[in-house]
């Protein structure tokens, strides 16, 4: 199956992640609204590691309205309490974040919880046993967003898809040059950030049109 057929099968394959820092809130919200119109995005994750709680809360309320407008799932990174406070669709947890059981008690069992599993089959098995809604594998490519600690293999992605029905989000340096390979190997969604927000040649709207 070629890349174009994959795109027709799941046109909304983008799992968009926010930039690590948002310098201009109004421009960011404008860009987000424009990106959602592309009909490529299924999930949006707010990932702000060094922002204060009040700022994240006020921004999250505005994001929630936009995601609802476009029927996009709103995920908050590493903050189940904020997830509950703004009634986001779910949260994403890394291996050093809060454990899934505690997170479920805070946000409720019906909310989405995704788990970073790097390139580990054991972490995937554990996440699925603990009823994570999706697993994230990566990094598949070099990334400018954060330092690469774990390199993921296509063979691990194929192993997950061959043995489980759980959705897989592929992460790490994904752009218009390398995204098709991951779709061809049955990744359900592609986590994309730097290519959209820090592209030196294209603005966010132009960048997403190339996917």
DSSP for 110-130? TSEEEEEEET-HHHHHHHHHT
Task: Indicate the DSSP class of residue 201.
Answer: S
> Residue 1 has what pLDDT?
44
> Which region holds residue 67: left if phi is over 0, alpha if psi is between -120 and 50, else beta?
alpha
What is the rounded CA–CA span in Å between residue 78 and residue 93?
5
- The overall average pLDDT reported for the chain is 93
> Residue 151 has what pLDDT?
86
Domain boundaries, the chain: 3-209
Question: Could you write out the three-class secondary structure of 74-111?
Answer: EEEECCHHHHHHHCCCEEEECCCCCCHHHHHHHHCCCC
What is this structure's pTM?
Answer: 0.93
Tell me the fold of 3-209.
Answer: TIM Barrel (3.20.20)
Question: pLDDT at residue 145 above 80?
Answer: no
- 57-95: per-residue pLDDT in tens? 999 999 999 999 999 999 999 999 999 999 999 999 999
Q: What percent of the chain has pLDDT over 70?
A: 92
Per-residue DSSP letters for 17-73? E--S--S-HHHHHHHHHHHHTTS-EEEEEE--SSS-HHHHHHHHHHHHHHHHHTT-E
**Which tops the pLDDT comparison, 10 or 130?**
130
Rounded to the nearest 10°, the torsion over CA 27, 32, 34, 40 is 160
């Amino acid at each position: 199956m070629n890349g174009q057929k994959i795109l027709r099968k799941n046109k909304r394959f983008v799992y968009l992640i926010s930039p690590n820092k948002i310098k201009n809130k109004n421009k960011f919200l404008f860009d987000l609204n424009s990106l959602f119109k592309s009909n490529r995005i299924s999930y949006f994750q707010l990932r702000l590691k060094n922002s204060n709680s009040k700022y994240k809360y006020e921004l999250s309320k505005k994001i929630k309205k936009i995601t609802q407008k476009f029927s996009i799932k709103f995920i908050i990174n590493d903050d189940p309490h904020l997830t509950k406070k703004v009634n986001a669709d779910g949260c994403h947890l890394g291996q050093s974040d809060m454990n899934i059981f505690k997170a479920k008690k805070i946000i409720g069992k019906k909310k989405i919880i995704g788990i970073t599993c790097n390139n580990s089959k054991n972490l995937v098995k554990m996440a699925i046993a603990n009823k994570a809604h999706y697993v994230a594998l990566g990094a598949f490519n070099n990334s400018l967003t954060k330092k690469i600690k774990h390199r993921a293999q296509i063979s691990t992605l194929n192993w997950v898809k061959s043995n489980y029905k759980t959705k897989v989000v592929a992460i790490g340096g994904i752009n218009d040059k390398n995204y098709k390979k991951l779709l061809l190997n049955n990744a359900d969604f592609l986590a994309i950030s730097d290519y959209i927000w820090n592209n030196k040649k294209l603005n966010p709207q132009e960048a997403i049109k190339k996917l």
